[in-house]
């Protein structure tokens, strides 16, 4: 009995003290807020606090000296037992805020909001309860602390089906939130803006309260709807109008919220790593991907597929096929993206006006000329059979003349069949050129892309993991072509070797390219042995191979009665290869015997 009495007395005292503290909090808030914080003259309610229950060591407020009654604003009353439907809104991006606020108010929701969001709602004629009126604390520390308070997070996190949760809210005078609408400081845009941002400014743009509210609401999504995307505002209002309880809808919003915060945190983490260490390979790596499109199928019709854009800070404004603009044609397919990427990566390597034709990610034709029309014709001529149905890429504008040539050009195999392509990709198009290309075919995909920047991180998936490496950005100007044979190449032969070497880095291993006068004559790709790739290249090049340059992506393991000797016997003028074989001496001796120049680059170009 004694224990029960003590417990009852303690509970009563705690309840009274909680009420006293709430009243004290309200009075302190009223003293701290300026009159401008209230949009209208507050009405009056009364809190009655039994003086007999107060602890003896609590000093009374002067306004309470003669009475146990405290006068407070009705707008400060936040009893969870009131049955009010409350929405918490805190937005950095205030797009469509007015329509959202009006819609929620029309549905009978009380809107609680912060600083700039509250002001924007008031300007739109929407009634707002400011967060300070619930927390009894003004915004402080330059806005760093606004919503980090039990009166906010208690109302978000409380489970409605847990009696002790609701009793706790009632005990502390905390109201529940039914909807939380939050988006975050524009950290991504700030740190990726042209000219950069100082470290201190970057830190200040890291949102703390926003992600905390989003995560809290998403965790308690069974009771609290959380919205982070303005495109979901109409669906939210429709859901609330229907007075339904669709848990799948709630879960979808919760997933989107967690994903939103995860992407945000990955940007902060990436930026902080670069500011601190800067190494390309951190101990932990998160790659934020954003769905660009669902594809008809994957590499084959029985495989489902989708295309995602890499939203890493390192990819901002760095070009590439992922951010290309499609002006015309059918939707891109899985294989289209792979082929277009291969063609674009290759053509962007060349300084002079160049055309590249790709089939199944391999360049089957490459030519550089001052006259881009001639370059186009030569690139197709290198392998017209493979070029048919391929991808054509240019590193210069497609104007009216070039567009007409693409539209009307006939296959060199018979001079009659009009060439068909899946994709044309270029850095830009003239108005007339684009109009003409659109008339070639309803299905022709016309892409406008920005050149890939150097220094990117290359990622590739294997079962259960990812491989990461620097992109292969080396061009002929970055390396030395060392003469190791008795015969030195003429200037034109050296130039042919450099051109062939630049082409072969884009061909699947084992790779051989034969080139002359800035034009690929033949290539062999993807064979398990280098000798077979060499023979394929010679079959395509034919008699034009005499006096041409040959480039290999890796060293020749054998020379005599093998690839090097066959190349020499077929009339090649100069060979460029990395070197590094234990039989390099044989390759040198073989070239000396046939009077062929041999260049070692010391750079391998495997492509798997």
**Does 586 map to a domain?**
yes
3-state helix, strand, coil in the chain (%, to 5): 40, 20, 40
pLDDT band at 317 (very low <50, low <70, confident <90, very high): confident
442 and 561 within one domain: no
- What is the structure's pLDDT at 484? 97
Residue 219 falls in the annotated catalytic set: yes
pLDDT at 55 over 90: no
Mean residue pLDDT across the chain: 84
Residue 83 has what pLDDT? 62
Does residue 71 belong to any structural domain of this protein? no
Q: Which tens digit of pLDDT belongs to each residue from 344-366?
A: 999 999 999 999 999 999 999 99
Q: Is the confidence at residue 56, as pLDDT, over 70?
A: no
Neighbours of 296 (CB within 10 A): 13
Percent of the chain beyond pLDDT 90? 61
Q: Is a pLDDT exceeding 80 seen at residue 22?
A: no
Catalytic: which of 84, 165, 190, 219? 219
Query: Among 191-205, 429-443, 464-478, whose mean pLDDT is lowest?
Result: 191-205
| DSSP-assigned states of every residue in 371-401 | SHHHHHHHHHHTSHHHHTTEEEEESS-B-HH
**Are 483 and 360 in the same domain?**
no
Which of 10-19, 243-252, 573-582 has the largest mean confidence?
Answer: 573-582
Is the same domain home to 381 and 496?
Answer: no
Domain range for residue 217? 86-275
Active-site residue 359, yes or no? no
Pair 431, 307 in one domain: yes
Same domain, 207 and 181: yes
* Cα–Cα distance for residue pair 217/240, rounded to 1 Å: 16
Tell me the C-alpha distance between 444 and 327, whole Å.
10
Mean pLDDT on 131-135: 75
In a domain, 67, yes or no: no
Please state the domain count of the chain: 3
483 and 385 belong to one structural domain: no
Residues 427 and 348 in one domain: yes
Are 129 and 110 in contact by the 8 Å Cβ rule? The answer is: yes
Pair (522, 591) in one structural domain: yes
CATH code at 216? 3.40.50.1380
463 found inside a domain? no
Mean per-residue pLDDT for 544-555? 96
Tokens representing 142 are 């330059």
pLDDT, tens digit, 9 for 90 and up, residues 448-497: 999 988 888 899 999 999 999 989 999 999 999 999 999 999 999 999 99
pLDDT value for 140: 65
**542 pLDDT band (50/70/90 cuts)?**
very high
Same domain, 251 and 319: no
DSSP secondary structure, 27-40, as one string? HHHHHHS-GGG-SS
Q: List the beta strands (DSSP E) in 139-188.
A: 179-182
Q: What is the model's pTM?
A: 0.81
- Between 578 and 170, the more confident residue is 578
Q: What is the pLDDT of residue 272?
A: 87
pLDDT of residue 142: 65
More confident residue, 202 or 489: 489
Question: Looking at the domain assignment, is residue 46 inside a domain?
Answer: no
Q: Once rounded to an integer, what is the mean pLDDT over residues 64-93?
A: 55
How far apart, in whole angstroms, are the C-alpha atoms of residue 343 and residue 320? 11
Mean pLDDT of 531-536: 96
Provide CB contacts within 8 A for 538, sequence distance 6+. Answer: 514, 522, 545, 566, 567, 570
Same domain assignment for residues 494 and 576: yes
Are 270 and 299 members of one domain? no
Helix (H, G, I), strand (E, B) or coil at 225: strand
- Of 76-90, 191-205, 248-262, 309-323, least confident by mean pLDDT is 76-90
The CATH number for 348's domain is: 3.40.140.20
Is 593 among the domain residues?
yes
Domain boundary residue, one of 212, 245, 275: 275
pLDDT at position 32:
42
- pLDDT value at residue 529: 93
Please work out, in degrees rounded to the nearest 5, the angle formed at the alpha carbon of residue 133 by the alpha carbons of 130 and 137: 110
275, 302, 322: which is the final residue of a domain?
A: 275
Catalytic hit among 360, 450, 451, 487: 360
pLDDT at 166: 82
Domain identity same for 308 and 415: yes
**Number of residues assigned to the chain:** 608
| Single residue among 406, 429, 448 that ends a domain in this structure | 448
100 assigned to some structural domain: yes
The pLDDT of residue 175 is 85
């Amino acid at each position: 009995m004694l224990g029960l009495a003590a417990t009852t007395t303690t509970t009563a005292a705690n309840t009274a003290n909680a009420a006293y503290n709430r009243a004290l909090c309200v009075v302190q808030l009223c003293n701290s807020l300026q009159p401008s914080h209230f949009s209208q003259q507050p009405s009056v309610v009364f809190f009655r606090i039994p003086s007999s229950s107060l602890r003896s060591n609590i000093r009374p407020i002067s306004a309470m000296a003669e009475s146990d009654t405290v006068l407070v604003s009705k707008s400060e009353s936040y009893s969870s037992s009131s049955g009010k439907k409350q929405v918490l809104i805190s937005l950095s991006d205030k797009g469509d805020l007015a329509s959202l606020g009006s819609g929620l108010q029309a549905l009978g929701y009380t809107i609680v909001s912060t600083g700039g969001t509250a002001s924007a709602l008031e300007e739109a004629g929407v009634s707002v309860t400011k967060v300070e009126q619930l927390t009894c604390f003004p915004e402080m520390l330059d806005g760093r602390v606004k919503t980090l308070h039990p009166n906010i997070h208690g109302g978000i996190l409380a489970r409605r089906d847990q009696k002790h949760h609701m009793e706790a809210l009632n005990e502390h005078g905390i109201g529940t939130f039914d909807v939380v609408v939050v988006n975050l400081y524009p950290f991504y845009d700030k740190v990726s803006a042209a000219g950069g941002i100082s470290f201190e400014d970057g830190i200040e743009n890291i949102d703390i309260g926003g992600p905390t509210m989003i995560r809290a609401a998403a965790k308690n999504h069974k009771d609290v709807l959380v919205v982070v995307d303005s495109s979901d505002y109409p669906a939210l209002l429709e859901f609330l109008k229907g007075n339904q309880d669709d848990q799948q809808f709630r879960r979808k919003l919760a997933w989107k919220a967690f994903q939103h915060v995860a992407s945000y945190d990955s940007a902060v983490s990436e930026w902080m790593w670069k500011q601190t260490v800067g190494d390309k390979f951190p101990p932990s790596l998160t790659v934020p991907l954003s769905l660009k499109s669902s594809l008809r199928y994957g590499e084959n019709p029985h495989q489902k597929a989708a295309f995602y854009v890499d939203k890493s800070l390192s990819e901002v404004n760095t070009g590439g096929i992922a951010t290309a603009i499609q002006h015309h044609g059918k939707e891109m397919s899985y294989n289209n993206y792979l082929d277009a990427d291969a063609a674009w990566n290759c053509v962007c390597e060349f300084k002079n006006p160049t055309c590249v034709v790709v089939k199944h990610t391999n360049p089957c034709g490459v030519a550089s000329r001052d006259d881009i029309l001639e370059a186009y014709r030569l690139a197709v001529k290198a392998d017209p059979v493979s070029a048919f149905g391929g991808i054509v890429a240019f590193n210069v504008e497609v104007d009216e003349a070039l567009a007409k040539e693409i539209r009307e050009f006939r296959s060199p195999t018979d001079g009659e069949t009009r060439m068909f392509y899946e994709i044309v990709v270029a850095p830009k198009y003239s108005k007339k050129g684009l109009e003409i290309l659109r008339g070639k075919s309803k299905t022709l995909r016309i892409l406008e892309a920005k050149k890939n920047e150097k220094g990117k991180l290359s990622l590739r998936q294997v079962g259960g993991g990812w491989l990461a490496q620097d992109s292969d950005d080396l061009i002929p100007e970055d390396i030395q072509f060392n003469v190791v044979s008795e015969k030195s190449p003429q200037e034109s032969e050296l130039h042919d070797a450099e051109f062939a070497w630049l082409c072969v880095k884009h061909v699947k291993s084992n790779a051989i390219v034969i080139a002359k006068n800035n034009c690929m004559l033949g290539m062999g790709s993807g064979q398990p042995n280098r000798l077979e790739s060499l023979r394929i290249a010679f079959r395509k090049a034919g008699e034009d191979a005499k006096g041409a340059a040959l480039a290999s992506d890796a060293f020749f393991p054998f020379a005599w009665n093998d690839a090097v000797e066959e190349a020499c016997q077929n009339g090649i003028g100069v060979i460029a290869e990395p070197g590094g074989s234990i039989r390099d001496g044989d390759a040198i001796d073989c070239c000396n015997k046939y009077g062929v120049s041999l260049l070692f680059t010391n750079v391998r170009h495997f492509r798997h």
